[in-house]
Structures are given as structure tokens and as C-alpha cells.
Amino acid sequence: MTVRDITVIGHRALHQPTKKVREVTDEVRELVADMFDTMEAAEGVGLAANQVGVRLRIFVYDCPVPGAENAKGVVINPVLERLGAPAPLDEEEDGEGCLSVPGEYFPLARHPQARVTGIDLDGNEVVIEGEGLLARCLQHETDHLDGLLYVDRLIGPVKREAREAAKDRGWAEHGVTKWDPTTTKAEDV
């Protein structure tokens, strides 16, 4: 398949809600295969369709789960349930990153558990439930599909720090709207 460029914060596709997939077509299957290849090349644990410039409600994930095999799959038209109350923010443990905010990590409190329902490429219902990193991944990727980046959820001094980091990287000033994970590491974008 193909590794696609990943959109960077400020790209219009990241800040608009995605559209529901009406039918799983060959083009959707090809997109999903490309998304898995792109996520692997970028060394990510999740990737939403709008991160590769496609405004469809799809995400893929390949997320480590302590004591088990990685949770890996695709969810089309996901519906998210956040479970449990977020614990107080632990700046050392609650760091989050994003392939669309490459090379930056900021603390963000998330719900400790999450459940996503949707369909797979065969139209079968899928239910993914997780805690820890998998719960964070499910919330993060669904946020993407709703037009939100994790930095949009930051508050106080951490939000200011994230804005400064994006400004210091100069993505907008230099017209950087995407990056190629086959030629560039996230921290070098």
C-alpha cells in the first residue's frame, strides 16, 4: 500500500468534523490499508482519516496493552463513551502526543476507561473497550474525527506552552501543512 503525508496542526482538515461513512467501498479499504502503513511508518499508536487529509469518520489503532498483545484494528463511524472520572492531572504520567503535533508532548487528563462502538471493514459491529493508554488512544482518535486536537483540550499554562511550542516550530510561518513519515522523524518536523 502507500504511506501518506500526515497533516500538521493548522491544516483545515484537522479542525472540521468528519463525515459518516455510508458504504465500505474499495476506496475506503485502500484508505484504511494506507492508514495502517502510515501509522507504522510514523511510529504512532493511532491515526484518524483526517490526519491524512480525508474527512471520513475512520480511525486505525495499534496500541500496546500491558501484559497482552497490542490492541489493533479499524473503527468506522465510531461512537465514544468516556467511562470513569478523570484523575487529577499527573504531569509525568499523563503526557500525550500526536502525529499532527509532531515531536511535542503535553500532559492531558483523560477518562481512565473508554468504549468505542462502530463497524469494521466487513460491516460488522465492533466494540473496543480499554483503559490506560488504549482508553487515551480511543478518546484521542475520536476527538480527531470531531475536529479536535488534544492541544485544544489543554488548559492554563500547559495550553500556553503548547501554543508557544507550535509557534516556535514555525509550522504556520513556513507553510508546513503536512509531513512525510518515510523521510522525516516526527521530532524533526
For residue 178, the cross-strand partners are 7
| Contacts with 109 (C-beta within 8 Å, 6 or more apart), sequence order | 86, 87, 88, 89, 94
- Is 137 among the annotated ligand-binding positions? no
Q: Of these residues, 27, 91, 141, 161, which one is catalytic?
A: 141
- Residue 146 DSSP class: T
Query: In the annotation, is 141 catalytic?
Result: yes
Alpha carbons 66 and 70: distance in angstroms, whole number:
8
Backbone angles phi, psi at 58, to 5 degrees: -145, 140
| Contacts with 66 (C-beta within 8 Å, 6 or more apart), sequence order | 132
Report residue 59 as a C-alpha cell.
Answer: 480511525
- Is 144 among the annotated ligand-binding positions? yes
- Using a 10 angstrom Cβ sphere, with 0-12 exposed, 13-18 middle and 19 or more buried, the burial of residue 141 is buried
Report residue 132 as a C-alpha cell.
Answer: 490506560
- Is 140 among the annotated ligand-binding positions? yes
| Contacts with 44 (C-beta within 8 Å, 6 or more apart), sequence order | 99
Provide the annotated binding site for Fe cation: 98, 140, 144
Show which residues are catalytic: 141
